[in-house]
Structures are given as C-alpha cells and as structure tokens.
Amino acid sequence: MVRTAIIGATGAVGREMLATLERRDFPVGDLRLFASERSAGTLVATRWGEVKVESLDDADPAGVEVALFSAGGDRSRQHAPRFAAAGAVVVDNSSAFRMDPTVPLVVAGVNDDAAKAHHGIIANPNCTTMVLMMGLAPLHRAAGLTEVVATSYQSVSGSGHKGIATLEAEIGHFAADFDALRTGAWEAPPPGYYPRPIGFNVIPFAGGAVAEGYTDEEMKLVNETRKILDAPAILVEPTCVRVPVMVSHGVAATAWFGRPLGVEEAMRLIAAAPGVEVWSDTVPTPLDAAGKDEVLVGRIRPTVGRPGGISLWTVGDNLRKGAALNAVQVAELIL
C-alpha cells in the first residue's frame, strides 16, 4: 500500500486525480490532501474515509511516497523539491519542470521507460501535447516523425474554474439576443478570464504571448513533442485556439515521416496503441471524449498537398488523460 498525497486537491484537476485514484483502485495506504490556506480544514469524502485538507505552506511531507501535484508552476517549484527530498516521488502537472533535462516528461503508453530515469520528480506534459502524442507516437515509432503542422482546439476547462465560469456567464449574456450575434450588433459581455469573448466565439490565441507572436501554449507543443519522442529535429508548426467547449481538447494535425505512410497502416498502428480508440465511422468530438479515459482519433486521411503524409484529428478529455489520469498512470508505472 502506498502513502499518497494530492497537492492542489480542491482544484478541478486535483478533484479528478482523487476520482482517478478511486476509479483505478490505486493502492492507497494513507491519503493526504493539500491545498492553499483558504481551503485548509475542509473535509473531503473519499473511499478511504473523510480527509481533512492541509495547508501546503505548512505541510510536513514526511512519509509521503507518491505526491501528485496540480498546484501551478510557482507552487510546484517551491514545494515539489521539498516533497522529493523527503522521499516522495512527485508527479507534477505544471510546466515548472517539463523542460528540465534532468526531469523525465512522460506520457503513459508513449514513453514509459523515461519514467525510470527520475530523480524524485516526473513531469506531466501539457494537456494539448498529451492528446496529440497519443495519435502521433504510434506512427513515429514505425516511420519516424519529421514534420507536423498542428492546430489545437482547446476547451475552457484548460484554464481552470475561471475559464469555465467565463464561458457559462457569456453564454447567458449572448443568449438574451441571438439576432445580435447574426447581425454583428452584439454587446460585449462583462470582462471575463479571456481577452476576447469566448461565448459563441473562438479565440485564435490560447495562452500567454511569448516570442515572434507565438503563445506559450504553442511553444509547449513544439518543445514537449520533441522531448517526449526524444527527437529534437522534429519540425513543429503550432497554432493554439480556445473554443467554447467545457471539456476536451482537440488537435488537427498533418504529419510527415521518414518514409511514406498509408492510411491503412496508420489506422492499424494507432488502433494497436494503448489508451486510444480509432473512430472510422463517426467523427469524434469533444462531447464524445468528455469523461473518457481514452483519446479518440478520427479523420485519418492521406495528405494531398504533399503526398506521403497523414492528416488526423485527435480529441481527449484534458482533465483525464490530459492531466489527472496520466499522473496516476505514471504513478502506477513507478510502483
């Protein structure tokens, strides 16, 4: 039995981590829940009994064997090394350690062996990268990925509670006058989490601005893809879009490889990979992926502009495989 902790236990991903531990019968011997001082003292019902939330700032990590972190980058940088130094293996869901060359970046079912090289901390990739890797990694293993053009369609739950609340409020705002959406006479909703309205809209700028007009979400797709696949020469052209969807990120990708790859072989390779479902008769959507552990892959087709490549669509629940599920699967790997 494993003495287990969830850090950021009251957030959307933290709650999903708890549900995943329960659903997968993770061998929890003792469960501790940590969050901010604001949530400390809250009682949380679990299958292992009621657990009182502890303040992370005051936490004594002694005795914790596995620590699942979803507390944001700053708090991970501050506290994850402390838990690791106390003997815990930390699986961190933030961006704090992803590009640290000493920290493995692991997608369970894609690069499991990388987890063995940890020194106390293992990083969970970005949720969008994770969904894309589930579709592309089986093809890379067989044919060697060389280039990919990827456009993400990211749900508001990727921004946490504030993103969800903003979409809910703006849907209500615009629903009062649908004609205004058609004619362009709409009135701006009250300020929300995003720089532009997300209700009945898409925002082709997900994340924060970095260099050359790109966002940090886009650069995560570039850098994390290369690290996960251990292929630093892969060319990645990313665009990340926020869409008015509650849960599940989708990625449309066109990829080329070291050799031509046909549709039948691609479908066979993806279907044989763990944690993936190939949908050939129905187009998979975010609504289909919500609440599912598997990543759905569809619209697998040959490239037409430059023959020999594959275009496909991947979609997965960003709170599950994109975050909580993968963290628990990584913990299972290290056991």
- The predicted-structure confidence for 119-131, as pLDDT tens digits, reads as follows 999 999 999 999 9
Mean pLDDT of 201-223: 96
| Integer CA distances (angstroms), 229 to 124, 221, 326, in order | 14, 12, 16
- Residue 133: name the closest of 267, 227, 262, 257 by CA: 227
Catalytic residue among 118, 127, 140, 173: 127
Enter the DSSP assignment of 203.
B
As a whole number of angstroms, the distance between CA 102 and CA 92 comes to 14
Rg, C-alpha atoms of the chain: 20
User: Catalytic residue at 118?
Assistant: no
**CATH class entry, domain 2-124+324-334:** alpha beta
Enumerate the domain spans of the chain. 2-124+324-334, 129-155+202-317
Catalytic residue among 118, 140, 173, 249: 249
- Residue 61: name the closest of 78, 38, 37, 74 by CA: 78
Contact 212, 121 (CB under 8 A): no
pLDDT, tens digit, 9 for 90 and up, residues 285-296:
999 999 999 999
Residue 275, CB-side half-sphere exposure with 13 Å CA sphere: 25
User: Catalytic residue at 127?
Assistant: yes
129-155+202-317 is classed in which CATH architecture?
Answer: 2-Layer Sandwich (3.30)
pLDDT, tens digit, 9 for 90 and up, residues 124-179:
999 999 999 999 999 999 999 999 999 999 999 999 889 999 999 999 999 999 99
